[in-house]
Chains A and B, each alone.
Chain A
Amino acid sequence: MSSHNESILREPLVTGKNITYAKVTEDILVPVENMPNKAWWIGFIVSVLGALLWVFAVSYTFWIGIGAWGLNKTVGWAWDITGFVWWVGIGHAGTLISAVLLLFRQNWRNSINRSAEAMTIFAVICAATYVISHMGRPWLAYWVFPLPNQFGSLWVNFNSPLVWDVFAISTYFSVSLVFWYTGLLPDIATIRDRATGLRRRIYSICSFGWNGSVKTWQRFEIVSLILAGVSTPLVLSVHTIVSMDFATSVIPGWHTTIFPPYFVAGAIFSGFAMVQTLMLIARKVLGFENYITMFHIESMNKIIILTGSIVGVAYLTELFIAWYSGAEYEQYAFLNRVSGPYWWAYWSMMTCNVISPQLFWFKKIRTSIAASWILSIVVNIGMWFERFVIIVTSLHRDYLPSSWAMFYPSVIDVCVFIGSIGVFFTLFLLFLRVLPGIAMAEVKLLLKSSSDQAKQKLIKEGTVDKAQAQFYTNSLQKYDSVSQKVEYTGN
C-alpha cells in the first residue's frame, strides 16, 4: 500500500475538514488564479516604492562612486557588507528547509519549503546587488572571474576568500534556483491544466511539458534527494566562506576560528526569523491557515531558540577567548565592542539575538502568532546589528589612535538598505501572485497520513488507544485553525 497510518501522537500537518486533493489545489491556487486583494496591492505598492528608492540610490552610487556612502579611510567597509552578509544569511533558511529537513525526513517542511526557497533566491539577489554596488567600478565586475587580465596572464588570486566567495555565492544562487524551479514544475503543470487561453500558453512554456508519468516522478524524486544531499554541505560552505572573508584577515575581532560555525548558526537563525516574518503574514492574507499550521510555527520557533542559543554561546566564547588569548589588541577590540562608543549596537545585538529569543521557552509565547511575529522582527534587527558590530566596531579603532574614527551612514547608505528590502518584497509578492506559495504536490503527499482529517478518522474508527487519542485531541488546542468545539466522543 502506498500510504500508512501515521502515529496518532504526532500533531497534524494539515488541518481542516473535507480536505481532498482537489481542495488542496483550489486553496493554494486562490492567490494565483484570482485578482489580488487589497492587502496584496498595498504591500506591492509600498514595496515597489522601496524598490524605486533602491534604483535611485544604487544609480546615484554608480554615478558618484563609493564616496556617496559614509565610509572613511578607517572604516572602509560598513553598511554595504553588513547588508550583504545580512541578506546572504537570510537566504540560508530556504535551503535549510528544502535540503536539510528533506534529508531528515521532516514532513513539516513540505508546506513551507516553496516560499522559503523563493525567499532564499530573492535574498541572494539582494546580497549580490550589494557585492556589485560596493565594487566602486561595477562595470569591471567581471574582474572577479578567472579571466586573464589585459596586462598579460595574471589571474585572480585563488588564495583569497573573496574569490572563494564569488564561486560560493554564484554556485549557491544557481543551485538554489535549479532546485526551486525543478520542484515547481509539477505545480506549474497543475496551473497550466486548469488555465485557459494565454495563461495556459505561458504556464505551458514554463511547465517544460511536465505530465506526471511514473518515470518522471521517479526521476524527480531522485533529483530532489540528490540536490538536497549536495545542497546541505553547500549551504554550510557558503556562510563558512562568507565568514572567512573576515576570519582570514588579521584584524583583531575578525581573526577568529569560531567564525564559520558561528556565522552558519547565525545565518540559519536569521533565515528562520525571516521565514517566520513572511509566513505569518502570508498564511493570514492568503488563507493558508490549514497548511501552515501552529505546528509549523512552533517548530520554527524551536529552531530559532536553538540557533539563537548557539549564537549566544558563540558571543560569550568570543569574549572569553579574547580575554584568554592574552593578546592586548584582541582584548581591546572586544572591550571596545562591549563598552566603547558602539556599546549600544553591541547590546542591541545581545538583547535581540540572545536574550529575547529565550522567551520562546514559554509555550504560550511560542504558540502565539503575535508574539512570534514580533520576536521574528526583533531577531531580524538583532542579526543586522550583529553584522554591523562585527564589521564597524572592529575597524573604527585601528592600530593608530590618530586615525580612530566613527562611522556615520549617509542618506544614500540608508536608501540602499531600505531599497533592498523593497526589492526583496517586490519580488516576493510577485512570486506569490504568479506561482503557488505552497508546494501542492508535496502537501498532497501528507493528506492521507498526516492530516487532522485522517487522524480524526482513525479516532472515530476506534483503532487507536483512547489515552493516545486524548493526547492528540489536547495537542490540537494550540491550533488556531482547528475550532475548539470539535467532535470527539472517542468511542
Chain B
Amino acid sequence: MSNTKYILGHFEDPDDLMHGIDQLQANDISIYDVFTPMPIHGIEAKLGVKRSRLPIVAFCCGLTGTITAFSMIYYMLVYDWPIDIGGKPSFAFPDFIPIMFELTVLFCAFGMVGMFFFRNHLFPGRAPRVMDLRATNDRFVIAIDVKKNPHPGKIDSLLKDAGAVEVMHNDRKYISYE
C-alpha cells in the first residue's frame, strides 16, 4: 500500500465543491479542511465550523479604548494638572469625546486584528501550512485525512463524481517552501 497521508480533491467551481462536501458527508467521510482562493459563503455551516467570537473581542477592546482615553484625559486635565482657562471648568467632558472615540476605534481595530492573527497563527515569517499551491489561485481544495477515512478508492470516486477535476494522494501534509 502507499503511504498516502492526505487526499486532496481539486474543484474548479465553488458550487461543485459544495456538492462534493455534501457527497462526502452523506458517506460519513470526515473532511480535514477546505482551502479556497476566496471566501465561500455558507461553507462554515456545512462543515459545522462554529461562529467566530471575534466580534466580542472587538467590543471588549473598543471599550478598553474608551475607558483608557477617558481615564487618561481625566487624570491629566482634571486631577493631575488642572489648567485655568478663563475660569472654565477643567472637567470639560464634551472636549474629551473626540479622543475617546478615536482610541475606541484604535484599540478595537488593533485588538481584533491582533487576536485574528494570534488565533490563526499568522505572523511575518511563519512557514505557510499550505497543502496545495493552487488553492490560493484557482482551485477549491477539499483535504481528507486518510488515517481517519480508510477507503481511498471510494473517496476518489465520490470526489470525481461530484465534479473534482483532479484527485491527489499526498505523502506529506504540507508543501515544502524550502
Do residues A186 and B37 form an inter-chain contact, with CB atoms below 8 A? Answer: yes
Q: Which of B10-38 contact A (CB under 8 A)?
A: 12-15, 17-18, 33-38
Chain A minimum-CB-distance residue to B126: A209
Contacts of B77 on A, CB cut-off 8 Å? 155, 157-159
Q: Known: A190-B137, A220-B116, A222-B52. Contact between A167 and B102, CB under 8 A?
A: yes
B111 to chain A, nearest CB (A): 11
A401 to chain B, nearest CB (A): 28
Do residues B38 and A215 form an inter-chain contact, with CB atoms below 8 A? Answer: no
Check B84 for interface membership: any CB of A closer than 8 A: no
With beta carbons under 8 angstroms apart, the residue of B15, B106, B120 that contacts A175 is B106
Chain A minimum-CB-distance residue to B59: A226
Contacts of B1 on A, CB cut-off 8 Å? none
Do residues A237 and B102 form an inter-chain contact, with CB atoms below 8 A? Answer: yes
Do residues A164 and B124 form an inter-chain contact, with CB atoms below 8 A? Answer: no
Contacts of A448 on B, CB cut-off 8 Å? 13-15
Check A486 for interface membership: any CB of B closer than 8 A: no
Q: Which of B38-53 contact A (CB under 8 A)?
A: 38-44, 47, 49, 52
Do residues A158 and B99 form an inter-chain contact, with CB atoms below 8 A? Answer: yes
Do residues A218 and B18 form an inter-chain contact, with CB atoms below 8 A? Answer: no
Q: Known: A218-B49, A226-B112, A234-B105. Contact between A158 and B95, CB under 8 A?
A: yes
Q: Known: A211-B129, A445-B38. Contact between A20 and B138, CB under 8 A?
A: yes
With beta carbons under 8 angstroms apart, the residue of B54, B98, B109, B136 that contacts A193 is B136
A186 to B123, CA, bound (A): 13
Residue-wise, chain B 91-133 has the 8 Å CB interface mask toward A (1 for contact) of 0100110110111111011101100110111111111111101
Interface size on B, residues (CB 8 A): 71
Total number of residue pairs linking A and B with CB closer than 8 Å: 209
Do residues A204 and B177 form an inter-chain contact, with CB atoms below 8 A? Answer: yes
A152 to B123, CA, bound (A): 41
A92 to chain B, nearest CB (A): 15
Do residues B110 and A213 form an inter-chain contact, with CB atoms below 8 A? Answer: no
Do residues A154 and B128 form an inter-chain contact, with CB atoms below 8 A? Answer: no
A33 to chain B, nearest CB (A): 12
Q: Known: A178-B110, A193-B134, A230-B109. Contact between A441 and B37, CB under 8 A?
A: yes
Check A25 for interface membership: any CB of B closer than 8 A: yes
A216 to chain B, nearest CB (A): 5
Check A1 for interface membership: any CB of B closer than 8 A: yes
With beta carbons under 8 angstroms apart, the residue of A2, A182, A186, A241 that contacts B40 is A2
Contacts of A211 on B, CB cut-off 8 Å? 35, 128-131, 135-136
Chain B minimum-CB-distance residue to A444: B38
With beta carbons under 8 angstroms apart, the residue of A182, A186, A214, A227 that contacts B34 is A214
Do residues B105 and A175 form an inter-chain contact, with CB atoms below 8 A? Answer: yes
Per DSSP, chain A at the interface is helix
Check A284 for interface membership: any CB of B closer than 8 A: no
With beta carbons under 8 angstroms apart, the residue of B15, B35, B110 that contacts A2 is B15
A211 to B92, CA, bound (A): 50
Interface residues of A toward B: which range?
A: 35 or more
Contacts of B96 on A, CB cut-off 8 Å? 158
Q: Which of B46-85 contact A (CB under 8 A)?
A: 47, 49, 52, 54-55, 58, 62, 72-73, 76-77, 80-81, 83, 85
Check A21 for interface membership: any CB of B closer than 8 A: yes
Do residues B126 and A155 form an inter-chain contact, with CB atoms below 8 A? Answer: no
With beta carbons under 8 angstroms apart, the residue of B41, B54, B134, B177 that contacts A226 is B54
A227 to B123, CA, bound (A): 19
Q: Known: A167-B98, A218-B49. Contact between A209 and B122, CB under 8 A?
A: yes
B35 to chain A, nearest CB (A): 5
A250 to chain B, nearest CB (A): 13
Q: Known: A171-B103, A178-B109, A237-B102. Contact between A209 and B127, CB under 8 A?
A: yes
Check A3 for interface membership: any CB of B closer than 8 A: yes
A193 to B135, CA, bound (A): 9
Do residues B128 and A217 form an inter-chain contact, with CB atoms below 8 A? Answer: no
A45 to chain B, nearest CB (A): 31
A213 to B120, CA, bound (A): 10
Q: Known: A21-B137, A22-B138, A157-B83. Contact between A227 and B113, CB under 8 A?
A: yes
With beta carbons under 8 angstroms apart, the residue of B34, B110, B116, B129 that contacts A219 is B116
Do residues B120 and A219 form an inter-chain contact, with CB atoms below 8 A? Answer: yes
Q: List 30 A-B contacts (CB under 8 A).
A: A2-B17, A2-B43, A25-B138, A163-B99, A171-B105, A171-B106, A175-B106, A189-B136, A190-B37, A204-B128, A208-B126, A211-B128, A211-B131, A211-B136, A214-B33, A214-B44, A217-B36, A217-B40, A220-B39, A220-B116, A222-B52, A223-B113, A226-B58, A226-B112, A227-B113, A230-B62, A231-B105, A237-B102, A241-B98, A444-B38
The 3 closest A-B pairs by CB, nearest first: A209-B126, A21-B138, A22-B138
Which B residues are closer than 8 A to A by beta carbons?
12-15, 17-18, 33-44, 47, 49, 52, 54-55, 58, 62, 72-73, 76-77, 80-81, 83, 85, 92, 95-96, 98-99, 101-106, 108-110, 112-113, 116-117, 119-131, 133-138, 177
